[in-house]
């Protein structure tokens, strides 16, 4: 099996994450930067943006999520929500992925023929950068899971880290040391997903 395929297979949703991480923050940051930079984007627009949170900043994010969820969650269910959020907070760091929205508008003006495609392509470009980062972190020995607490945290996140107005939050990739295996995963039968013609 190629090393690439092995890395793809090893990328799973790891929810039990800790802080027993051997890589330095600088090494992890460089890995994330390199991965996002080398991920393809439509028209090479490079619309994905990433903010890497470690330490107190990472913990602050999950405090923001907890605060945002409190008024939206029935009181009796909130302890479970708090426990789930604590799981994310116990991890080592979080990558916030944003989509730079001016890029889409500019491309739509520049290439009217493809105008309808650019919003989708920007989302796809974010997805590719995110999935590649997830795989790269896993290949470096870490575990990660992907969360979507946007848009309820957008305002607080923008305020806390001075995020430009044209950066739209799309996802949160939580990472850390793997403290437990991923769950079993089922696959659809190949004949439901693939067709080959000669």
Ligand X SMILES: Cc1cc2nc3c(=O)[nH]c(=O)nc-3n(C[C@H](O)[C@H](O)[C@H](O)COP(=O)(O)O)c2cc1C
**Which residues are near ligand X by CB under 6 A?**
12-13, 145-148, 182, 185
CA 51, CA 20: separation in Å to the nearest integer? 22
Indicate the residue among 110 and 180 with the shorter CB distance to ligand X: 180
Q: What minimum distance in Å lies between the beta carbon of 183 and ligand X?
A: 7
Indicate the residue among 52 and 173 with the shorter CB distance to ligand X: 173
- Whether residue 103 contacts residue 50, with contact meaning beta carbons closer than 8 Å, is answered with no
* DSSP-assigned letter for residue 91: S
Q: What minimum distance in Å lies between the beta carbon of 197 and ligand X?
A: 28
Indicate the residue among 103 and 126 with the shorter CB distance to ligand X: 126
Indicate the residue among 31 and 144 with the shorter CB distance to ligand X: 144
Indicate the residue among 56 and 188 with the shorter CB distance to ligand X: 188
Q: What minimum distance in Å lies between the beta carbon of 33 and ligand X?
A: 22
A 10 A CB-CB count for 86 gives 11
CA torsion, points 42, 47, 50, 51, in degrees to nearest 10? 180
CA 36, CA 181: separation in Å to the nearest integer? 26
Alpha helices in the chain (DSSP H): 3-10, 25-37, 55-69, 78-89, 101-110, 117-139, 154-161, 190-193
Q: What minimum distance in Å lies between the beta carbon of 148 and ligand X?
A: 4
Q: What minimum distance in Å lies between the beta carbon of 130 and ligand X?
A: 8
């Amino acid at each position: 099996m190629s090393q690439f395929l092995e890395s793809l297979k090893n990328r799973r949703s790891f929810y039990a994450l800790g802080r027993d991480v051997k890589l330095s923050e600088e090494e992890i940051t460089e890995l994330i930067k390199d991965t996002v930079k080398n991920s393809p984007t439509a028209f090479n627009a490079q619309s994905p943006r990433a903010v890497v949170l470690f330490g107190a900043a990472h913990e602050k994010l999950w405090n923001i999520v907890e605060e945002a969820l409190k008024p939206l969650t029935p009181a009796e269910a909130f302890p479970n929500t708090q426990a789930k959020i604590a799981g994310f907070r116990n991890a080592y760091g979080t990558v916030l992925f944003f989509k730079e929205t001016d890029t889409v508008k500019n491309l739509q003006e520049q290439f009217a023929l493809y105008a309808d495609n650019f919003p989708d392509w920007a989302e796809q470009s974010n997805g590719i950068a995110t999935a590649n980062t997830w795989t790269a972190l896993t290949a470096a020995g870490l575990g990660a899971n992907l969360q979507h607490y946007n848009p309820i945290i957008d305002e607080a996140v923008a305020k806390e880290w001075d995020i430009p107005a044209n950066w739209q939050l799309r996802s949160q990739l939580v990472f850390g040391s793997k403290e437990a295996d991923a769950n079993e995963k089922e696959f659809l039968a190949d004949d439901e997903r693939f067709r080959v013609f000669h």
